[in-house]
Amino acid sequence: MKEEEVNRCQIQEWYPKFKSVSIKTRIHELPEYFVQYLLDDSGPFLLPVSISNDDAFPNRIHNPEEEDDYQVSEGSGDESEQPSLPPSFPELELEIKESIESLGGSVFPKLNWSAPKDSAWISTTGSLRCSSFSEIALLLRSSDSLVHDLCHAYDSCSDKTSSRPRSFFLALRKWYQSLKPEMEFRCFVQNQNLVGISQREVTTCYPALIEKKDSLQALIEDFFLDNLMSRFESENYTFDVYVTKDDRVKVVDFNPWGAFTLPLMFTWEELDQTHSEQGDGVNFRVVESQLSVRPGLKTAVPFDYLDTGTGSGWDQVIRNANEDLQQQTRNAQAGA
């Protein structure tokens, strides 16, 4: 895989070209100091100071009586005891607030490639639905799966020159409350031909999906031919779609072929061996019975849950985390 193929799958790259067939989205370039805030795991986790009073997480530092909490007591003489001041990103927050309003008040956030799916549990809604800058900052800061975007996006590239893109972007997508999981599909394109379609949520059998399989396949194939084929520049890639109840197809995401992209109901070995020709027929897989569900294979689960083997990239991340943990334990024992 080449870096340019990975780059094409960044939402700020593909969205402008395909916005008429996608979900309404506003994209913000992130200042580097906000990226550093996301990456910084050295101190306590501090939410940014909010400019907004109606924020879902009103920041306590706005209360003057509590500001004393952040003062260094005079004469302590020990700089290392100084508590960190909460960070503040007023310009970015203002831009984001305007975007949230323009998108109807609730958004789904993601960085260049990934959404913070693994941190949904921490939000008050238990989902990625956000209506304020603080909620977005909390999800992004708490996510381990964004480490992929921030530090490992090019790990599978044969021409890797950097561990990260020059800029990071925050995409805010209009929130859809009632997306039906059975209407989401991952589609596999090899040599610019659609070769496979997989049910996206592979832990459940949906009888209605089995009934509609043929008509759904026709809709997705037509969508690919009319909108994506020869317009998305990679030879090999995947795209995710959502089919609405009035049979419109929306592209939700693009991902590179192979590497970190989950093949869902396929394996990358069998997809690699497809050697398709145009007109060869598309292999459409859905869960045909609840008994055939592959245990442990879930979407919306960080890939590190699934592939932590040697060479996956995550083996090193886990080794580092374990070493940090052991060091912290040794420090704590030494201090006790």
Ligand X SMILES: Nc1ncnc2c1ncn2[C@@H]1O[C@H](COP(=O)(O)OP(=O)(O)OP(=O)(O)O)[C@@H](O)[C@H]1O
Residues near ligand X (CB under 6 A) are 23, 108, 110, 114-115, 117, 173-176, 179, 184, 200, 240, 252-253, 255, 299-300
- Give the residue among 122, 56, 42 at the shortest CA–CA distance from 84: 42
CB contact set of 199 (below 8 Å; sequence gap of 6+): 182, 184, 185, 206, 209, 264, 265, 285, 286, 287
Task: Report CA dihedral (204, 207, 209, 210) to the nearest 10 degrees.
Answer: 110
Question: With respect to ligand X, which residue has the nearer C-beta, 46 or 96?
Answer: 96
Question: With respect to ligand X, which residue has the nearer C-beta, 46 or 188?
Answer: 188
| Secondary structure tally for the chain: helices H, strands E | 10, 8
* Residue 86: CB minimum distance to ligand X, A: 28
The rounded distance, in Å, linking the Cα atoms of 221 and 198 is 13
Question: With respect to ligand X, which residue has the nearer C-beta, 46 or 209?
Answer: 209
Q: Are strands 193-199 and 283-285 parallel, antiparallel or unpaired?
A: parallel
- Give the residue among 209, 203, 306 at the shortest CA–CA distance from 262: 306
CB contact set of 164 (below 8 Å; sequence gap of 6+): 150, 151, 153, 154
* Residue 336: CB minimum distance to ligand X, A: 41
* Residue 11: CB minimum distance to ligand X, A: 8
* Residue 255: CB minimum distance to ligand X, A: 5
Question: With respect to ligand X, which residue has the nearer C-beta, 11 or 92?
Answer: 11
* Residue 148: CB minimum distance to ligand X, A: 8
Question: With respect to ligand X, which residue has the nearer C-beta, 23 or 46?
Answer: 23
* Residue 71: CB minimum distance to ligand X, A: 41
The rounded distance, in Å, linking the Cα atoms of 56 and 145 is 24
How many other C-beta atoms lie within 10 A of the C-beta of residue 216? 22
* Residue 170: CB minimum distance to ligand X, A: 13
Question: With respect to ligand X, which residue has the nearer C-beta, 46 or 169?
Answer: 169
Question: With respect to ligand X, which residue has the nearer C-beta, 18 or 176?
Answer: 176
Q: Are 157 and 1 a contacting pair, CB within 8 Å?
A: yes
* Residue 173: CB minimum distance to ligand X, A: 4
Using CB atoms within 10 Å of the CB of residue 228, give its burial: 0 to 12 exposed, 13 to 18 middle, 19+ buried: buried
Q: Are 45 and 190 a contacting pair, CB within 8 Å?
A: no
Question: With respect to ligand X, which residue has the nearer C-beta, 157 or 171?
Answer: 171
